[in-house]
Amino acid sequence: MTDRRFMRRAIELATAGIGNVSPNPAVGAVLVRDGRIIGEGYHREYGGPHAETDCIRDARVRGEDPRGAVMYCTLEPCSFRSPTKHNPPCTESVIEAGITRMIIAARDPNPAVAGCGVQALRTAGIQTSCGLMEDQVLTLNESYFLSTAVRRPQVHLKWAQSLNGRIARAEGGKTPISGPEALRHSHGLRATVDAILVGRATVELDNPSLTARHGVSPARQPLRVVLDPSLRTPISSQLFQDQAAKTLILSGALNDESLTQAAALKRLGVEIVQLPVQEEGDFDPADILDALYERGIRSVLVEGGSVTHTGFLAAGLWDRLTVYIGPTLLEGNVLAPDAPGPSIATVAHEVDVLGDTVAITGMNPNTRRVLDGLKWETAPQPQTAGCVLPQEEAHVHRSST
């Protein structure tokens, strides 16, 4: 169980990077000799050294020699160079340091690595074993693994409803459905994503600030994204005015009228990206996710409203959902999102009791299948010829500037 103890420590170290490293994954590493930790490291921020290098450096700072030591690393070391990646391949650092054994949790799904890291280590004579605590690392970096595999951001849907499935009172007006503990929990969700997305109606009805607060203070606030095909969200809305985070509007084609609105928004620092509008007057969720992915967004929390949620549900473009169920009963037909299509049984349920509110989180079974397919056991083994040699250029997901 010693192996698990050291890997647990590496995962702990990796966790410290969450929120600072996207679109890279959070990675931790530990160097061990004679059952004693001689170095610890993690990927601290996007653009900074990778965990393996950070760990070797730490050992040297401590006056320890990494030669002959064992490295526990949460992710397969990278094995390629590219013009947009200033870090050398970690496999080289590991080999040069004289490390003789590597214990790796998860496979890097980046096509430029994807088994080639392990191959490079083994070719250099380093005894390498894979898969220890793989599930924990997949969960820790779920958005990295998933978005790398499906080439779109991880989509997390979130809403609050009454005990009888209503999301607001029929007659309108704000109805607080969930309590303060639930509020903190939902701000915790915000703090872990790259972007928060809402439809125009939600901005008009709730005038939210869409920042992560209430006890959480992420290193960087998520991008705020508003779906506004006709570009008519009031410019006085809080999230355009407060400068608390970057804001992006997805709009349709601009006309004479909306060009004026666009100019005013741009003066406030709001970015506008134009997308094709469908016949029904809304965007194709796939187009939305493409636009976000191109900007480096690897995870998005979709906060509503109901029509926006239903759009993602109908398209099957969602990975997790969290439903907050408050201790109230409401009248009328302002309903939780509809789920068009055959009934979906979600998997991987988490239940959090938050004061008098209950949060249920489920995972899309298709997402579960994608993530399971990334494991060492199921993922295809690289052909020797298929691995990019370190000196060649490669398509880069995990890059450092």
Residues that bind its own copies (CB under 8 A): 161-166, 169, 175, 313, 321, 323, 325, 327-333, 335-347, 349, 351, 353, 356, 358, 360, 362
Task: Give the nearest distance from C-beta 371 to its own copies in angstroms.
Answer: 17
Identify the bridge partners of residue 67 per DSSP, sorted by sequence position: none
Q: For strand 347-354 and strand 247-251, is the pairing parallel, antiparallel, or unpaired? A: unpaired
Closest CA to 189 of 226, 219, 216: 216
Looking at the annotation, which residues are catalytic? Answer: 52
* Tokens encoding 309: 């949620």
Distance CA 157, CA 194 (A): 14
Instruction: Give 310 or 399: the residue with its C-beta nearer to its own copies.
Output: 310
Distance CA 289, CA 298 (A): 9
Distance CA 7, CA 128 (A): 14
Contact 124, 101 (CB under 8 A): no
Instruction: Give 244 or 348: the residue with its C-beta nearer to its own copies.
Output: 348
Closest CA to 77 of 123, 12, 9, 34: 123
Task: Give the nearest distance from C-beta 171 to its own copies in angstroms.
Answer: 10
Residue 235: half-sphere exposure toward Cβ, Cα within 13 Å? 13
Closest CA to 121 of 107, 109, 134, 111: 107
What's the start-to-end Cα distance of the chain, in Å?
38
Task: Give the nearest distance from C-beta 360 to its own copies in angstroms.
Answer: 6
Task: Give the nearest distance from C-beta 201 to its own copies in angstroms.
Answer: 19
Task: Give the nearest distance from C-beta 141 to its own copies in angstroms.
Answer: 24
Q: How many CB atoms lie within 10 A of CB 1?
A: 5
Which amino acid is it at 101?
R
Distance CA 181, CA 77 (A): 39
Instruction: Give 67 or 369: the residue with its C-beta nearer to its own copies.
Output: 369
Instruction: Give 333 or 384: the residue with its C-beta nearer to its own copies.
Output: 333
Task: Give the nearest distance from C-beta 321 to its own copies in angstroms.
Answer: 7
C-alpha to C-alpha distances, 259 to 230, 277, 362, nearest whole angstrom:
11, 17, 41
Longest dimension (CA), the chain: 72
Instruction: Give 234 or 332: the residue with its C-beta nearer to its own copies.
Output: 332
